[in-house]
Amino acid sequence: MQQNRTDWRLQGDWIKNCNCAFGCPCDFNARPTQGWCKGMLGMRIEHGHFGEVRLDGLSFFVTVDFPGALHEGNGTIQPIIDERATPEQRDALFQIMSGKHSDEGTLFHIVSLIVTKVLDPVFAPIEVEFDMDERTARVSIPGVLETETQPIRNPVSGAPHRIQVVMPDGFEHIKAEIGSARIESTAGIRFSVPEGHSSLARVEHTPMGVAA
């Protein structure tokens, strides 16, 4: 355990959308579908804290750009923080995302190792809709990011197709519903994905890793 580490916990709705084909190759230790990764991930916090700072009800996301597989590094990210967050809450979220208060091999620690450039954060109003069972979600951050998740459709019948990814030792989530994502990113990392991968999960992140 690291010294001078602050205890924290984030529980809530997790969304990861990217340019890859359905079934994110990263979850299978495979290379990105097109050789590179552009996408977004983050969460709407239902219950959370960093030390004594409460984070309930806030949302944060990051847009990402990796020139190759994520484990090869050289990534660029831009944090997007709920504008309602107080200065103390903003600092708390940045402290969590820094990975300095997490064990090795956990999500935020890994991110700190593979990202080489962090763009200036955006503070903006964030609207989130999330229904894991229906495989639908939406994140709307006007002028910054618009993304939507819908069920994958059967190519013959058009019926909704359901598939889950379960990773008992996952560092991002344990179980996710897989959907189809549309992304329009228009801030520091600009890209458009008409149809890509989406993971929706209920998560509980802690300094020791994913608790649920």
pLDDT along the chain (212 residues), means of 10: 82 98 93 97 98 98 96 96 98 97 96 97 98 97 98 96 96 97 98 98 97 84
For residue 132, the SS3 value is coil
Q: Which tokens in the block code for residue 190?
A: 């600009």
Sequence-ordered strand ranges (E) for 67-109: 75-82
Residue 163 near residue 120, CB atoms below 8 Å: no
Residue pair 91/132 in contact (Cβ under 8 Å)? The answer is no
What is the rounded distance in angstroms from the CA atom of residue 42 to the CA atom of residue 186? 17
Going by C-beta distance under 8 Å and a sequence separation of 6 or more, which residues neighbour residue 93? 50, 55, 58, 60, 79, 81, 85
Query: Distance between CA 95 and CA 193 in Å, rounded?
Result: 30
The shares of helix, strand and coil residues in the chain, as percent rounded to the nearest 5, are 10, 50, 40
Q: How far apart are CA 68 and CA 33, in angstroms?
A: 10
What is the structure's pLDDT at 212? 79
DSSP secondary structure code for residue 96 in this structure? H
In this prediction, residue 41 carries a pLDDT of 98
Residue 4: predicted pLDDT = 81
Strand, coil or helix: 8: strand
**DSSP-assigned beta bridge partners for residue 16:** 41, 199
